[in-house]
Amino acid sequence: MKFSHFIKAAVYSLYDKSLRKQIAGNVMPQHIGIILDGNRRHARGTGLPVEKGYEMGLNKLEEVLDWLWEYDIKVVSVWIFSTENFNRDAGQVSTIMRMAEDKTIKIREDKGVHERKVLIRYSGDRTMLPQSLREQIDKTEESTKDYGNHILNICLAYGGREELTSAIKKIAYHVKNDNLKIDDIDEDTVTQYLYTYGLPDPDLIIRTSGSIRLSGFLMWQSTYSELYFTDVLWPAFRHVDMLRAIRDYQKRQRNFGV
């Protein structure tokens, strides 16, 4: 290792330890949402094929999840692929669907998932997914359905407007069939028909790559979420970046109102 690299690694280690101490003993977010943005830009910036960027992004997710479980975060929601992303190059979409299927199988077979009792659930319009991927999702959810120490909510073929549209249609169906009265519809009613029903709203949402917007991620659920934006591209997301986000969350005075 070059001396400059040694110094850089030593400084990083000290900074990481400092951040760990800063967040220790403070209130931790129980539900963290992450928008995994910047995979393609990272690949292009390093001279790699775009598909390689997606692969690196999925591998990074496994690493980050280990970090979050280490801090006993109860629920993690990750936005893997949006409904709008299906408009991208057909070859890229096909590659991502194949990778998603491979990772769905891998996570089901992951020893750590079962040791930690992580319940896996998927949120999104599954009709947009290949049949083989849907089958693997069903198997993975079935294999972890009795767990509850942690929850991993994977948003795949997900769009915030699509989720709300789907909920409205279901509510309208029940009204039409006299199973629900219009005057009985309230916030709790809407929540019951969202993909995330049964999950607490996210305390903290992290978006990488520099974009300062949620792009519809958990539109209903994020009303009072604390938001954290970082310029770091997702495949380059580091442990200190995660600690910074949590530290920032802990410094804020949460206000459930205007």
Residue spans of alpha helices (H) in 71-186: 90-109, 111-116, 131-144, 160-176
Show Cβ contacts of residue 189 under 8 Å, excluding neighbours closer than 6 positions. Answer: 171, 180
Q: Work out the pLDDT band at 72, boundaries 50, 70, 90.
A: very high
Q: Work out the pLDDT band at 80, boundaries 50, 70, 90.
A: very high
pLDDT digits (tens, 9 = 90+) for 125-175: 999 999 999 999 999 999 999 999 999 999 999 999 999 999 999 999 999
Q: What is the mean pLDDT of the chain?
A: 95
Mean local confidence (pLDDT), 51-80: 96
Beta bridge partners of 54: none
Q: Work out the pLDDT band at 74, boundaries 50, 70, 90.
A: very high
Please state, for a pLDDT cut of 90, what percent of the chain lies above it.
94
- Judged against a pLDDT cut of 60, whether residue 1 lies above it is answered with no
pLDDT of residue 3: 64
pLDDT of residue 6: 77
Beta bridge partners of 155: 79, 123
Closest CA to 35 of 224, 226, 242, 209: 209
Closest CA to 83 of 193, 197, 194, 160: 160
Distances (CA, A) of 114 to 30, 50, 65, 97, 246: 20, 32, 14, 24, 26
Catalytic amino acids?
37, 85
Show Cβ contacts of residue 225 under 8 Å, excluding neighbours closer than 6 positions. Answer: 33, 201, 202, 203, 204, 205, 218
CATH topology of domain 28-159+201-251: Undecaprenyl pyrophosphate synthetase (3.40.1180)
d(CA 171, CA 230): 37
pLDDT of residue 45: 95
pLDDT of residue 40: 94
pLDDT of residue 102: 96
Domain ranges for the chain, please list them.
28-159+201-251
Q: Work out the pLDDT band at 8, boundaries 50, 70, 90.
A: confident
pLDDT of residue 17: 97
Mean local confidence (pLDDT), 183-212: 97
pLDDT of residue 29: 98
Q: Tell me if 128 sits within 8 A of 80, measured CB to CB.
A: no
Show Cβ contacts of residue 240 under 8 Å, excluding neighbours closer than 6 positions. Answer: 12, 15, 16, 19
Element (H, E) at 64: helix 50-70
- 213 residue type, one letter: R
Q: Work out the pLDDT band at 66, boundaries 50, 70, 90.
A: very high
- 26 residue type, one letter: N
Tell me, rounded to whole angstroms, the distance of Cα 222 from its chain centroid.
Answer: 13
Please state, for a pLDDT cut of 70, what percent of the chain lies above it.
98
pLDDT digits (tens, 9 = 90+) for 104-120: 999 999 999 999 999 99
Give the SS3 label for residue 241.
helix
DSSP single-letter state for residue 192 = H
pLDDT of residue 195: 97
